[in-house]
Amino acid sequence: MSANLSTSAMEKVKFLYKFIRTPRTIGSVTPSSRYLTHKMIDAVPWSSIHCVAELGCGTGVMTKAIHRKMMPDTTVLLFEKDSHLRKQLALQFPESNTYADAKHLCSAVREAGFEHVDCVISGLPFANFPQPVRDALMDQVRRALRPGGYFIAFQYSLQMKKQFASLFHIESIRFEMRNVPPAFVYVCRKR
User: Do 152 and 130 form a contact (C-beta atoms < 8 A)?
Assistant: no
User: What is the rounded average pLDDT of the residues 82-87?
Assistant: 95
Q: End-to-end alpha-carbon separation of the chain, Å?
A: 45
DSSP alpha helix (H) spans, the chain: 2-21, 23-26, 34-41, 61-69, 83-92, 105-111, 131-144, 161-167
Residue-averaged pLDDT of the chain: 90
Could you tell me the pTM of the whole model? 0.86
Distance (Å, rounded) from C-alpha 49 to C-alpha 72? 10
pLDDT at 191 (0 to 100): 94
CA separation for the pair 118, 108 (Å, rounded): 14
Measure the CA–CA gap between 150 and 15, rounded to whole angstroms: 27
User: What is the per-residue pLDDT across 27-74, written as a single tens digit (0 to 9) for each?
Assistant: 555 789 999 999 999 999 999 999 999 999 999 999 999 999 999 999
Quote the pLDDT of residue 129. Answer: 95
Indicate the burial class of 9 (C-beta count within 10 angstroms; 0-12, 13-18, 19 or more). exposed
Report the distance separating Cα 96 and Cα 80, nearest Å: 13
Say how far apart CA 179 and CA 187 lie, in whole Å. Answer: 18
